[in-house]
Chains A and B, each alone.
Chain A
Amino acid sequence: MNNKIKELRAKHNLTQLDLAKLVDVRRETIVFLEKGKYNPSLKLAYDISVVFRLKIEDVFFFD
């Protein structure tokens, strides 16, 4: 699974630390997500999409 977290973060002027704080995970988790090394749980995917005010499928998608 792929995602647009890095682009959306840049668009919203958020650092990895800011996003990690907003969704209550460690910064390392955001790093792993951006590298596509980790598929988040439904709850985390939902929380991240809420931060960017988008639908889950607009943030996370299959190639």
Chain B
Amino acid sequence: MAQARQTTDVITGFDTPLLLSVLFLTGVGIVMIYSASSAIANNTYGNGYFFLRKQTIFSVIGGLVLFLSSMIPYRMYRAFAYILLAVSALLLVFTQIPGYGHAAGGAARWIRIGGFTFQPSEFARLSMIIYLAYSLSKKQERIREFSIGFLPHVIVMMLLAILIMIQPDFGSVVILGILCWIMMFMGGVPIKYLGGALLGLLPLAGLVMMSASYRVERLMSFLDPWKHQTDEGYQIVHSLMAFGSGGFWGKGLGNGHQKLFYLPEPHTDFIFSVIGEELGLWGVLLILTLFFVVIWRGIIIAMRTEDLFGSLLAAGLTIGISLQTCVNMGVAMGLLPTKGLTLPFLSYGGSSLLINMVAVGIIINIGKTRPHGRT
């Protein structure tokens, strides 16, 4: 019956607050990436504009991708849910094949396509959201059954998680896990299973944590970064200094100090710290407000959508972005242990930006697809 109504959709306009927030964030990202990276780019590539130029190209492509994905009727993805999963798994496997994969910092998380490197775990997250939205909406009648509403989703998630874990990228696995958990919770999977999974996963997560020495060190440094400020706590200490020395008004655009080789990855994982130092508290609160708008437009679109798949898809994509945002900010501010996660729209990085642009495009498409007779 729901199917019948949805065939006569009316196409309304773009969700303006969402679109403007995302575009504004991307613009701020370009400016801050330039400020954060020019010294490093100059040092490494002899060209201060290196990252600025690339990010500008990514942003233009990202804008196009956003526009295109907002044009594609979201229901089409239902048909591709499994194919996308398979492609994700394949791409993840590819990262481990020498010649295709691209390793950096001891982890093989990327594959090289042309001149660009692409991070399949980002794509896998998107595929997982589409799959869950499709599967959870399809199985609504028997969602409360363990073998139907819970087990298959967990198995698919675990498969992807294992593939990501090989890289290794513990941070992405945690994000994926939390994301699935929240989506299953929203989709109606009984709390008893979800709670049980949580209890069952805790020792497992602990085991994984302890299996790699750097993870333990990261956790220790998170608990007392000042004590470890010369080694494991180095990043976090310098990030905190960046925020603190920014004060209310900041040091002014371009005037930050921590990006000058003190703070590692100032243009990727710690772009928020550079914003904190150069733009101060008001800049940080502005960025928070923009993300707040993105989240709530996403949630509102999800809630307004009658179609369960669309609703869960919009919510899932929104939560994907929000999770990444909260974890990145939490790490930068010393609230969470260090994770190699980018800040959506702001951090330098093509695959992250493109995937998030696709996500926003899909949310916008869901938002403008209204069932007939409703506004």
Q: Do A and B come from one complex?
A: no
- Chain B residues with CB under 8 Å of chain A are none
Interface residues of A (CB under 8 A from B): none
